[in-house]
Structure 1
């Protein structure tokens, strides 16, 4: 086999793994912590380590949309679109941070981004959309459960990755 065929095969295998991880994300989306906060992003964070940051971005983004759909978009469609972008970006950053530092630093960064920064970014949007729960009350209501689920998702992803190891 030449190098072009090997790379094509690797890409195909990564896409198959990504599809399986998206399916796992759907299962995680059914395990709710609060509203649309669920165990869906573990597969995305794992994918960012196992397959690479871009695949983590894809898996985490689709995973969040699946959670929003199974929850009935409780925070409105615009908020869930923003969260979809955030989830993809945070999984990507997690994968890059892991490659440039280590798992503990990358995990701390991901938990802070997904648990605190994401909600801070949504505070002005909730005010602008005039959601019943908006502004700082929204932040205080969401930051605890979201930080908890972020910690669970990121730590599980990192633990599973350390057990399985790097295949790519």
Structure 2
């Protein structure tokens, strides 16, 4: 017997609970817990800042989620992780700017998850890292310079953003590769 309670189902025979996701599919409790844990880690990672800039390590758990759970998780975790960091730091670049950065982070996470959706080979890690870099740093700097009406911001932020992306992505890829070795499979 399956009962529906406000988007959450409980199956008595299988003793399991699940929740309807945004895409219409069903997410189990483990997936929901993984989302919550990774969002919390994004918020914690955002408190560790890279240099004097407002660049933190909030994206590494989002990249882990994208690599393990796919593009939807990458988008949700990327956006919410950045917004959590922005809230805790007082929106240093303004609310509209951080909303745009959250959208760019969502695109980055989704692209990384999309590139990794078929198989977790070394080539897939490299391709997803490059595509994510182009979106995160390339598109991010173009949009930032347009919103701030300043080309100088590209020169100022290129190296720190590139370094932060590299550290976040490589860290996430190493974590995921070790998790797949320990637990077998994706």
Q: Which segment drifts farther, 86-95 or 7-16? A: 7-16
State the partner residue of 1:145. Answer: 160
Q: How many corresponding residue pairs?
A: 160
Local SS of the residue matching 1:8: strand
Higher relative contact order (CA 8 A, sep 6+): 1
Greater strand share, structure number: 2
Q: Is the 8 A contact 1:48 1:54 kept in 2?
A: yes
TM, length-normalised to structure 1: 0.86
Counterpart-to-counterpart distance in 2, 1:167 and 1:99? 12
Alignment gaps of 5+ in structure 2: 3-10, 20-26
1:8 equivalent to 2:11? Answer no
Q: Is the 8 A contact 1:61 1:88 kept in 2?
A: yes
Aligned-residue Cα RMSD (Å) equals 2.3
Shift of 1:123: 1.2
The one of 79, 89, 94 aligned to 2:107: 89
Alignment gaps of 5+ in structure 1: 128-134
The one of 148, 162, 167 aligned to 2:177: 162
Local SS of the residue matching 2:65: helix
The one of 139, 146, 149 aligned to 1:124: 146
Q: Is the 8 A contact 1:53 1:95 kept in 2?
A: yes
Structure 1 runs (4+) greater than 6 angstroms displaced: 4-7
